[in-house]
A = this chain, B = another copy of it.
Amino acid sequence: MNVRTLCLGILSFRQMTGYDIRKLAAEGNFSHFCEANYGSIYPALSQLTKDGFVVFTDEVIDGKPPRKIYSITDKGRSYLFNTLNKQPGPDRFKSEFLFYSLFQDKMSPEDFRKLLVRKIAETRDTLESLEKANDCCDHQPSHFALGYGVAMNKAVLDYLKNYLASFDHQVKEADNLSNED
Q: Which residues of A contact B (CB under 8 A)?
A: 1, 5-6, 9, 12, 30, 32-35, 81, 84-85, 87-107, 111, 115, 118, 122, 140-142, 144-145, 147-148, 151-152, 154-156, 158-160, 163
Contacts and interface: CB of A to CB of B under 8 A. Distances in A.
Contacts of A99: 1, 5-6, 9, 30, 33-34, 88
30 contacts: A6-B99, A9-B102, A33-B98, A34-B99, A81-B106, A84-B103, A84-B106, A84-B107, A87-B115, A88-B96, A88-B99, A89-B96, A90-B96, A91-B93, A91-B97, A98-B145, A98-B148, A101-B144, A102-B141, A103-B141, A104-B140, A105-B141, A147-B159, A148-B156, A148-B160, A151-B155, A151-B159, A152-B155, A152-B156, A155-B155
Given A33-B99, A98-B148, 9 more contacts: A9-B102, A9-B103, A33-B95, A88-B97, A88-B100, A92-B92, A105-B141, A148-B156, A152-B155
Contacts of A101: 141, 144-145, 148
A98 B148 CA distance: 8
Nearest to A118: B87
Q: Tell me if A's interface is mostly helix, strand, loop or mixed.
A: helix
A94 B155 contact: no
Nearest to A32: B93
